[in-house]
A and B are shown apart, each in its own frame.
Chain A
Amino acid sequence: MGYKKIFNVALGLTLMVTGVWASCVLASDPPPEGETGSVAVRLVLTEGAVPADDPNAAVWNTIAPAEFKLAPQVHWPDRIQEVTVKSVKVRGMHNGQDLAILLEYADPSEDAADAAAVEFMVGDKMAHFAHGQEMLQVEGGDVNIWYWKKEHGKATDMTAKGFKTLRPQENQDVSATGAWQDGTWRVVFSRPLQTADELDVQVTPGEWRNVAFAFWDGEIVDGAVKEKGSQKAVSSWWYLRAEPPPDNSIYGYVVLGIVLAAGFEFFLVRKIRRGNES
């Protein structure tokens, strides 16, 4: 009988350990990947300052990038049939106050007119990825565009709602720095998660935002800039989320659930036994 008891206790413990192990493994699954690349950018929560002005900071290499394919801008004239930048790797981090997003992409030459942009939907209304252009059956919202150009050496915080409406905002909240090396641009954009400007995207940890990207190859070909204005490489809308701080209260509820279930078992058995005795 003693052996049986030991066996049962060991079995129970093994099951419990297996359950905890399985829940840890399942909980740490990476975000799903789309057929042609990633579907979301994760701004990893970090302590201390984010590398806002340093595209080459070592800490960037500790973050797994999301990768998005790019297409020529064909939606509106003047469209373009082929573009230099074919895909972009995106890494992001935040510290609860500020965020930084690193765009890494191949461009064979460093040119003054090289440029990159990150676009966000603003507020609750959906906005078309092409500059929030008018939709016929849906009332659209604004887009917030963070634009960086090599020759400007800084970011411009912009707003648009339709073509020909793109304009710099009064409140410039974004900064950007780019570094080109061996055919690769690394451009880092940074901003506080939250701003007081209603034209800005507000990034709340744990909430999903829509994000898109655009790139211009500023190489001079036959005396003209190769890609400019609406002639650019673009992405569709994808998702971005700032990682929320870990919520340990969940484990409290898990323990509470286990205790309540065990208590239920105890009282159920006791009730049946008493019923049988009477």
Chain B
Amino acid sequence: MKGPLAKTAILLVGMYVFLKFILPLFTAPLPASLIFLYLALTFASAMIFYTMSGGGLDEFMGPVGRFLTGSGQAGIAGTARILVFVLFPLLVGWQAYTRLAPSDMPPAENRTIHPAPPGEFVGLANPYPTTPENIMMGKGLYAAFCSPCHGANFDGKGPAAVGFNPPPANFSDPGTIAQLQESYLFWRIKKGGVGLPVEAMPWKSAMPRWEVELPDEWIWKIIMGEYDGAGQSPRTWEEEE
């Protein structure tokens, strides 16, 4: 384990353990492609270092050459050499197969769940005061128009929810309306699924375009009822600053 190649191998393993397991303890995990890039840079650096520091390429790559040619090998090393020679072509064949075989998987769908709203819906404030009466009216309207899909418990589990893909939003989940402003909900309720931009796949959404059936006042009060019923608060401009 004194040759330059062995030292480089140990360095690479240490580097991998550090990048993969130790670094994520302090910061976000690195993507595999970045780890690969760092390891490649480490290997290249080591190769440059050893070949420039007198030993030459032969000393660095010598063990690889001896392994591949099988010179002076016996026992485990010999078996490992046969293994590599058998596995490498099989791996190439497997790669060729997986690249060429027809896929039985439907196209991947990268649907954006909360796309950017149109400009005219950004920053609108609810024009109705948050009074018990308005909240109660909002909850009543919610029960009549929204609960069949979004659920009486605001959990997205209404009796009509089961057949839809994407499923109706679960307002009690802190990842939905709690992350959004009231103006965003106003846009989504008013324009419905067909109002979504292309990245949100409007052709799949069953959300009605409520502007053709409900006045704006009802929509604002439904928003109030939704937040209150789901136990969430709208995201406000102050929090963003």
Contact = CB atoms under 8 A, between A and B. Distances in A.
Please indicate whether A and B come from the same complex rather than being unrelated chains: yes
B84 to A, nearest CB: 9
A72 interface: yes
Contacts of A259: 89
A259 B95 CA distance: 13
A234 B163 contact: yes
Nearest to A77: B213
Interface in A127-152: 127-130, 133-138, 140
B44 interface: no
A136 B195 contact: yes
Main secondary structure of the interface of A (DSSP, over half): mixed
Contacts of A239: 106-107
B198 A11 contact: no
A63 to B, nearest CB: 15
B158 to A, nearest CB: 9
B238 interface: no
B1 interface: no
A201 to B, nearest CB: 15
Given A71-B206, A258-B93, A4 B78 contact: yes
B162 A71 contact: yes
A278 to B, nearest CB: 12
Interface stretch (A46-54, A105-113, A153-161, A267-275): A267-275
A238 B166 CA distance: 11
A67 B75 CA distance: 56
A235 B202 CA distance: 15
B22 interface: no
A4 B78 CA distance: 9
B175 interface: no
Interface string B77-115: 011001101111111111111001110111100000000
Contacts of B164: 71, 236
A71 B160 contact: yes
Nearest to B194: A135
Interface in B160-182: 160-166
Given A128-B203, A250-B100, A250-B101, A236 B195 contact: no
A182 interface: no
Interface in A233-275: 233-239, 241, 244, 247, 250, 253-262, 265, 268-269, 272-273, 275
A257 to B, nearest CB: 4
A217 B197 CA distance: 35
A208 interface: yes
B7 interface: no
Contacts of A254: 93-94, 96-97, 100
Interface in A200-241: 206, 208, 233-239, 241
B159 interface: yes
Given A74-B208, A136-B191, A257 B96 contact: yes
B166 to A, nearest CB: 8
Nearest to A42: B104
Given A15-B90, A138-B203, A71 B163 contact: yes
Contacts of B97: 23, 27, 250, 254
B65 interface: yes
A61 interface: no
17 contacts: A11-B82, A11-B83, A15-B86, A19-B93, A36-B162, A81-B159, A135-B203, A136-B194, A136-B195, A208-B107, A236-B165, A237-B203, A238-B165, A254-B97, A255-B93, A272-B68, A276-B65
Interface of A: 4, 7-8, 11-12, 15-16, 19, 23, 27, 29, 31-32, 34, 36, 39-40, 42, 68-72, 74-77, 79, 81-82, 121, 126-130, 133-138, 140, 206, 208, 233-239, 241, 244, 247, 250, 253-262, 265, 268-269, 272-273, 275-276
Nearest 5 CB-CB pairs, A to B?
Answer: A71-B163, A261-B89, A257-B96, A261-B92, A236-B165
